[in-house]
Amino acid sequence: MISGILLQVTQITKKFRNLIAVNKVSFDLHRGEILGLIGPNGAGKTTLFNVLSGMYVPEDGEIFFKGRNITGMRPHKICKLGISRTFQVTKAFSHMTVEGAVRVGAYNRKSENEVKEKTEETISFFKLGNIRHWKCEDLGLVQLKRLEIARAVATEPELLLLDEAAAGLTSAELSELMELLKTLRDERHITLCVVEHVMQMVMGLCERIIVLDYGELIARGTPDQISQNERVIEAYLGKRFSR
Ligand SMILES: Nc1ncnc2c1ncn2[C@@H]1O[C@H](COP(=O)(O)OP(=O)(O)OP(=O)(O)O)[C@@H](O)[C@H]1O
Ligand SMILES: [Mg+2]
């Protein structure tokens, strides 16, 4: 499954005035893997996603995607190259219908006449057919989260960055989400980077995990290694996840 480096992040630093939100972070993401990115509130996870997807330009460091330097590229260009992301708080499409939001994703790569086909295929794959005419603002949490992933997948990414896709889901909904993400990786060959506080998802889904704390990468390893790492337990997990 794992073959080659898809994303290489070297020494990325992003500051907000005096606050160093991401501090010299380096890591690789292998093609076909599911990488977890965890850490306490305010650790810099979303900021790192914002840098990777081009919303913020880092003060320092470089990002290579498929061997190409994408540091400082505009978001739409990065998306066209094959990186898509979901948002922690979904607001952007509130007045649109479900179908409209999916179509926005499909427009990223497809010519006009292919958009309809991609939209239909995505609606069907994500089982959104019965709510396709609903306004996004009328959706429940689970539907909204599914749509958010559908919109991102409609752009046909090679790398999908998921920001807290599991927050607020019940245990059954969580299992369904994990199955969906495995399917995206196994059948659509989408590499995943998952920011998540829900440890059941992180430990059950990810092959490797990296940990941020105050903007710094403090640990990297397998779920087993991370759950036993003293520094991670101290900074984030607490005793309940240590074995
Ligand atoms: N646009 C911004 N302007 C100023 N400070 C910001 C901005 N965005 C984030 N920060 C700060 O940067 C730090 C990292 O925030 P970030 O949202 O990346 O954390 P996070 O790891 O995603 O946290 P959470 O788990 O709560 O989502 C925090 O101290 C936050 O207050
Ligand atoms: Mg966040």
Domain span at residue 66 reads 1-71+196-243
On whether residue 17 sits in a domain, the answer given is yes
For 221, counting Cβ atoms within 10 Å of its Cβ (0-12 exposed, 13-18 middle, 19+ buried), the class is middle
Nearest C-alpha to atom 27 of ligand 1 is from which residue?
Answer: 41
Number of the ligand 1 atom closest to the C-alpha atom of 17: 4
Which CATH number characterizes residue 228's domain? Answer: 3.40.50.300
pLDDT score at 113: 83
pLDDT band of residue 239 (cuts 50, 70, 90) is low
Q: Which long-range contacts (CB under 8 A, 24 or more apart) does 167-170 make?
A: 167/88, 167/197, 167/198, 168/141, 169/141, 169/142, 169/145, 169/198
Mean pLDDT across 184-210: 96
Instruction: Report the separation in Å between the CA atom of 229 and the middle of ligand 2, taken as the mean of its atom positions.
Output: 22
On whether residue 158 sits in a domain, the answer given is no
Instruction: Report the separation in Å between the CA atom of 213 and the middle of ligand 1, taken as the mean of its atom positions.
Output: 12
On whether residue 3 sits in a domain, the answer given is yes
Site to probe by mutation for ligand 1, drawn from 23, 47, 195 as the one with most ligand atoms within 8 Å of Cβ, is: 47
Residue 242 has pLDDT above 60, yes or no: no
Instruction: Report the separation in Å between the CA atom of 92 and the middle of ligand 2, taken as the mean of its atom positions.
Output: 17
On whether residue 127 sits in a domain, the answer given is no
The proportion of the chain whose per-residue pLDDT surpasses 90, expressed as a percent, equals 88
Query: Side chain identity at 177, as an amino acid letter?
Result: L
pLDDT tens digits, one per residue of 23-56: 999 999 999 999 999 999 999 999 999 999 999 9
pLDDT score at 110: 73
Domain count, the chain: 1
> Higher pLDDT residue, 110 or 206?
206
pLDDT score at 96: 92
Which residue in 34, 49, 12 sits closest to 216, CA to CA?
12
Report the pocket of ligand 1 as residue ranges, CB < 6 Å: 16, 19, 21, 39, 41-47, 88
Report how far residue 26's alpha carbon sits from residue 212's, in angstroms, rounded to the nearest whole number: 11
On whether residue 219 sits in a domain, the answer given is yes
| Residues forming a β-bridge with 221 | 209
Residue 134 has pLDDT above 90, yes or no: yes
On whether residue 79 sits in a domain, the answer given is no
On whether residue 157 sits in a domain, the answer given is no
On whether residue 120 sits in a domain, the answer given is no
